[in-house]
């Protein structure tokens, strides 16, 4: 532990929020702006009614030693040298708790925004953001992320000063109140939802990207390949080799004999500012960074001294993540045809549907003829969507081989692509806040992704009607997405004449 190593000491406390809501609970579904209508505190969802106070493991051990009661099952026991008895015990504990209620509980939050307007398609936005707030000094979480965004902005500004402007508008953002429940970004997205639906191409998120030297990334399936390709042109600071190669080698080592043809990119779940862009509006997102032997998460030990001794001596990996941020922004901002990989998204749906079907077979739900028919229908619709995705990709590849389309034609192709992605959202207010049909944050674990969320939540509830309804919804939206991609391919074909 500190000061000899990177782990927090026995009395070190991990702070955090236990709010489980979609943004500000006083404005569910609409932006929390000055003068906004707010629900009464008694009607707010996700607000805990029981005070929660974090403690370090030394304090926990002192409390556990005082407890009597029956011996617990072995699987209930942890690593401390105590009996883990459930109590009661002879000791009394005093806590002093200060609460804020009513108007005193409201505090302003401030997001910042800087814009470089695009030269060709100014109404198409590429966005990058990081939260500024922290539970302590925040060297990892999230000075490292904010530094990445600011340095990428500095690089773009330097290029603009030399007379070059990106083709699309680039928006640099820093968020407030992320640690309280992803509030700053969520409320901004809700306030700008109509414009984002029209304009947003992708959102890149930088949250705690540097705490070591081991690279990892997560992204929406349609831009996973873009992330991989960008790592080919950024060097690993320790070896000087392309980051892609180091990343691939480490994954091969971790999997021993299992073949790894390309680095695995994770699925974006919850827990950070990408969530409202992706889960609510379906905008493609990505996040990445360098991890290591952490131990100071959300604590007062997340300091510059810790970073300089243990996390990133010399700040070399800070520079690397900022370079990758700038490369990805530049590729998204300047691509004539947006580099969405619809075929990979379709294959991700196929993989998850197979996994869901296996879970369904093991569940208590009886798979009757009606549910079997729904499964057949969703597979047929997914096959049609995957076929349209591959055909569109081939058409784009052929068109680009003959040269970039004219700006007007490229804009039509790109709008058709984005329309295909929007077809995979549940529309309308009745759909609720989480509308992405591929993934949402898991309501039982806000950090984790829940893929095919409607079907899996119905499976958890052992609700066969809910499972069937979720499969029907998927079928309908796969058909709509396939139709959109066929329209997009027609636009590509028309530009080649």
Q: Is the dihedral of CA 486, 490, 496, 497 positive or negative?
A: positive
* Tokens at 315, concatenated: 């700040």
What CA–CA distance (Å, rounded) separates 450 from 293?
27
Q: C-alpha distances in angstroms, 307 versus 134, 295, 311, 328, 346?
A: 15, 12, 4, 25, 40
Going residue by residue through the chain, which has 497 residues, state the pLDDT in tens, using 9 for 90 and above.
998 999 999 999 999 998 888 999 999 999 999 999 999 999 998 888 888 889 999 999 999 999 999 999 999 999 898 999 998 888 788 888 888 888 898 999 999 999 999 999 999 999 999 999 999 999 999 999 999 999 999 999 999 999 999 999 999 999 999 999 999 999 999 999 999 999 999 999 999 999 999 999 999 999 999 999 999 999 999 999 999 999 999 999 887 766 778 999 999 989 999 999 999 999 999 999 999 988 899 999 999 999 999 999 999 999 999 999 999 999 999 999 999 999 999 999 999 999 999 999 999 999 999 999 999 999 999 999 999 999 999 999 999 999 999 999 999 999 999 999 999 999 876 678 999 999 999 988 888 999 999 999 999 999 999 999 999 999 999 999 999 999 989 989 888 65
Query: Residue 377 has what pLDDT?
Result: 97
Residue whose C-alpha is closest to residue 123's, from 200, 181, 8: 200
Bridge partners for 113 per DSSP: 173
Q: Record the tokens describing residue 219, joined without a space.
A: 């992204």
Residue 257: predicted pLDDT: 60
Q: In the prediction, which pLDDT does 20 show?
A: 84
**What is the torsional sign of CA 187, 190, 191, 192?**
positive
Coil, helix or strand at residue 30: coil
Q: What angle do CA 231, 307, 7 make, to 5 degrees?
A: 110
User: Which residues are within 8 A (CB) of 57 and not within 5 positions of it... i.e. 6 or more apart?
Assistant: 10, 80
Q: Which of 178, 187, 222, 352 is catalytic?
A: 178
Phi-psi map region of 314: left, alpha, beta (phi>0 left; psi -120 to 50 alpha): left
| 178 tagged catalytic | yes
Instruction: Report the pLDDT value the prediction gives residue 336, as an integer from 0 to 100.
Output: 96
What's the predicted TM-score (pTM) here? 0.95
Q: What is the pLDDT of residue 48?
A: 84
Cα–Cα distances in angstroms (integers) from residue 45 to residues 36, 176, 180, 366, 445, in the given order: 17, 21, 15, 34, 16
């Amino acid at each position: 532990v500190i000061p000899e190593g990177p782990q927090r000491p026995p009395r070190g406390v991990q702070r955090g929020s236990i709010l489980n809501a979609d943004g500000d609970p006083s404005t569910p579904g609409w932006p929390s702006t000055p003068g906004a209508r707010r629900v009464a505190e008694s009607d707010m969802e996700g607000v805990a009614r029981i005070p929660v106070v974090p403690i370090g493991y030394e304090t926990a051990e002192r409390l556990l030693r005082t407890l009597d009661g029956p011996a617990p099952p072995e699987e209930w026991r942890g690593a401390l040298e105590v009996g883990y008895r459930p109590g009661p015990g002879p000791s009394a504990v005093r806590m002093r708790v200060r609460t804020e209620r009513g108007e005193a509980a409201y505090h302003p939050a401030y997001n910042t925004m800087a814009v470089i307007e695009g030269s060709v398609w100014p109404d198409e936005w590429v966005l990058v953001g990081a939260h500024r707030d922290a539970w302590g000094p925040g060297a990892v979480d999230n000075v490292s992320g904010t530094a990445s965004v600011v340095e990428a902005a500095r690089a773009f500004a330097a290029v603009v000063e030399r007379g070059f402007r990106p083709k699309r508008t680039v928006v640099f953002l820093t968020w407030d109140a992320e640690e309280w429940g992803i509030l700053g970004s969520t409320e901004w997205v809700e306030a700008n939802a109509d414009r984002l639906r029209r304009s947003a191409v992708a959102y890149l998120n930088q949250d705690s990207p540097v705490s070591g030297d081991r690279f990892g990334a997560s992204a929406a399936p349609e831009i996973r390949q873009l992330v991989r390709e960008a790592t080919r042109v950024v060097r690993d600071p320790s070896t000087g080799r392309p980051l892609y190669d180091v990343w691939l080698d480490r994954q091969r080592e971790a999997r021993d004999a299992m073949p790894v043809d390309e680095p695995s990119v994770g699925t974006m779940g919850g827990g950070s500012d990408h969530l409202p862009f992706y889960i609510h509006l379906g905008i493609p997102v990505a996040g990445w960074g360098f991890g290591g032997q952490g131990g100071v998460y959300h604590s007062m030990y997340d300091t510059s001294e810790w970073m300089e001794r243990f996390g990133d001596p010399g700040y070399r990996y800070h520079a690397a993540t900022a370079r990758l941020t700038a490369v990805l922004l530049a590729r998204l901002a300047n691509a004539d045809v947006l580099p969405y990989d619809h075929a990979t998204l379709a294959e991700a749906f196929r993989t998850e549907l197979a996994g869901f079907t296996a879970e369904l077979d093991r569940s208590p739900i009886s798979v009757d003829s009606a549910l079997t028919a729904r499964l057949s229908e969703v597979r047929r619709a997914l096959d049609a969507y995957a076929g349209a995705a591959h055909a569109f990709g081939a058409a784009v590849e052929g068109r680009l081989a003959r040269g970039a389309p004219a700006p007007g034609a490229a804009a039509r192709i790109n709008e058709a692509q984005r329309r295909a992605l929007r077809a995979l959202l549940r529309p309308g207010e009745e759909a609720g806040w989480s509308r992405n049909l591929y993934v949402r944050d898991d309501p039982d674990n806000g950090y984790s992704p829940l893929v095919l969320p409607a079907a899996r939540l119905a499976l958890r509830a052992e609700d066969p009607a809910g499972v069937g309804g979720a499969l029907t919804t998927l079928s309908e939206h796969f058909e709509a997405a396939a139709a959109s991609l066929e329209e997009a391919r027609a636009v590509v074909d028309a530009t080649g004449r």
